[in-house]
Amino acid sequence: MSPILGFVVIVASTQLVVALENGLARTPPMGWLSWERFRCNTDCKNDPDNCISDRLFRTMADIVVAEGYAAVGYEYINIDDCWLEKDRSIDGQLVPDRERFPYGMKSLSNYVHSKGLKFGIYEDYGNYTCAGYPGILGFLETDALTFASWDVDFVKLDGCYAHPSEMDQGYPEFGFHLNQTGRPMIYSCSWPVYQIYAGMQPNFSSIIEHCNMWRNFDDIQDSWSSLETIIDYYGNNQDAIVPNAGPGHWNDPDMLIIGNFGLSYEQCKTQMALWAVLAAPLLMSVDLRTIRPEYKAILQNKKIIAVDQDPLGIQGRRIYKHKGIEIWARPITPVYQNYYSYAIAFLNRRTDGTPSDVSVTLKELGLQYPGGYRVEDLYEDVDYGILTPQTKIKVKVNPSGVVILRCDLQLDEIFASSRYTPYTPLNQVFKVRQNSFK
């Protein structure tokens, strides 16, 4: 199949936004978060290895360092719901579950810091957390001070048991109290998604001003269909969503579920590539004790992480969608005059069981730099060399899989057209790819 491509050129917008300036999250935060994989398992008697407990987080911190995740950028060890006692203390303080967190949160935080990592926690702007533990309503200042006293580095604030109409006031108010503690903490907000559920239109200028990241859409579940609904949401609503991202403030399409039960190998590669194009926070939610090596390799793919962490912080867009083939593009560094480099993801949403060919020139993708681009495949060891905008590239995309390319402006070859590498798609691409997909 060779779709005929009719393209809209992607323009990197540089709009002026007033953003939360706490110095944090200059690139999308990376780390590990318990929820998608470990949920609200509180049964440490019968399931001591998998319950939400001090031990689980220490173990994950150990592995993040020992097995190379920290070395490629994963930094935050984040607790989600179900860490609390059901009641506050008599003087109104949050109390971690006494059996599951017997040493308290300061001790766990110290441990995480001793490994060179950062420590994140979860609460909820409501009377209760989603799982029914005490929320922060009525205790905003107390709880901000508590988190600071535990040396917390990251706070995720959920929105269950709260009135969405009160969030415009409430989320900034808690942000104010976090700021007043003097301890820099990433502030992750669920503010827009609950307002969208309630039929409201979120005020994104305010959200950008007060949060480092925020959820726009549903929780991710362990399935390809869940991942597809997220991909579609971000593509279909990109005009409203994309301009809100930038250094210090990110859209959060939710956790990476790579290495769990629900996605195939191809689908895992798709999530990693798409999240990088979306400039998404990379928060793994997987059992790092048992993850298979091929999934670990996806999570530790340095070239794709570099796209996610690109310093420009421009979120990518879906630039083509036809008959199950999508092309997504993200402007990245290096930049020269008005020309950007790009990460390009070719996604195959088709279910006919054979790879689809996509042929396109760089120019059709909006890559017009006369000096050409150095083009490289980020999963397969394929270097396309230096290509002119007129060169047709051909990629073979597996069903529910992805091909992601990095196209860097060829800056020292300006107009030196005689020095282009000859390029024959058949020899240089398919030969390698056929061998590399078993």
Ligand X SMILES: *[C@@H]1O[C@H](CO)[C@@H](O)[C@H](O)[C@H]1NC(C)=O
Q: Which residues in this chain contact ligand X in the complex, by CB under 6 A?
A: 21-23, 126-127, 137, 161-163, 179, 182-184, 203, 205-206, 209
Pick the closer one to ligand X by CB: 146 or 398. Answer: 146
> Both tokens of residue 382?
């394929």
Pick the closer one to ligand X by CB: 6 or 182. Answer: 182
In a 13 Å sphere around the CA of 73, the CA atoms on its Cβ side amount to 21
Least separation in angstroms between CB 165 and ligand X: 10
Q: Residue 243: is the preceding peptide bond cis (ω within 30°)?
A: no
| CB-based burial label for 132 (10 Å; 0-12, 13-18, 19+) | middle
Least separation in angstroms between CB 175 and ligand X: 9
Pick the closer one to ligand X by CB: 248 or 372. Answer: 248
Pick the closer one to ligand X by CB: 65 or 160. Answer: 160
* C-alpha to C-alpha distance for 213 and 281, rounded to whole angstroms: 8
> Is the distance from CB of 321 to CB of 235 less than 8 angstroms?
yes
Write b or e for each residue in 377-388: b if 16 or more Cβ atoms lie within 10 A of its Cβ, otherwise e.
Answer: bbbbebebbbbb
Residues taking part in catalysis: 158, 219
Report the first-to-last Cα separation within the chain, whole angstroms.
21
Pick the closer one to ligand X by CB: 167 or 403. Answer: 167
> Both tokens of residue 356?
């689809």
Least separation in angstroms between CB 151 and ligand X: 13
The residue type at 290: T
Least separation in angstroms between CB 153 and ligand X: 11
Least separation in angstroms between CB 18 and ligand X: 7
Residues whose CB is less than 8 angstroms from the CB of residue 386 and which lie 6 or more positions away in sequence, other chains included: 372, 373, 374, 375, 410, 413, 419, 420, 421
Distance of CA 399 to the CA centre of its chain: 23
> Is the distance from CB of 285 to CB of 63 less than 8 angstroms?
no
Using alpha carbons, list the distances in angstroms from residue 85 to 94, 105, 114: 8, 12, 26
Pairing of β 186-189 and β 30-33: unpaired
Pick the closer one to ligand X by CB: 32 or 125. Answer: 125
* C-alpha to C-alpha distance for 226 and 218, rounded to whole angstroms: 9
Pick the closer one to ligand X by CB: 89 or 201. Answer: 201
Least separation in angstroms between CB 76 and ligand X: 16
Least separation in angstroms between CB 127 and ligand X: 4
Candidates 257, 437, 344; CA nearest to 7 is 344
DSSP for 109-169 reads HHHHHHTT-EEEEEEESSSB-TTSSB--TT-HHHHHHHHHHTT--EEEEE-TTS-GGGHHH
The residue type at 85: E
* C-alpha to C-alpha distance for 210 and 254, rounded to whole angstroms: 19
Least separation in angstroms between CB 253 and ligand X: 23
Pick the closer one to ligand X by CB: 167 or 312. Answer: 167
Least separation in angstroms between CB 237 and ligand X: 19
Pick the closer one to ligand X by CB: 30 or 155. Answer: 155
Q: In the chain, helix, strand, coil percent, each to 5?
A: 30, 20, 45
* C-alpha to C-alpha distance for 341 and 344, rounded to whole angstroms: 10
> Is the distance from CB of 345 to CB of 396 less than 8 angstroms?
no
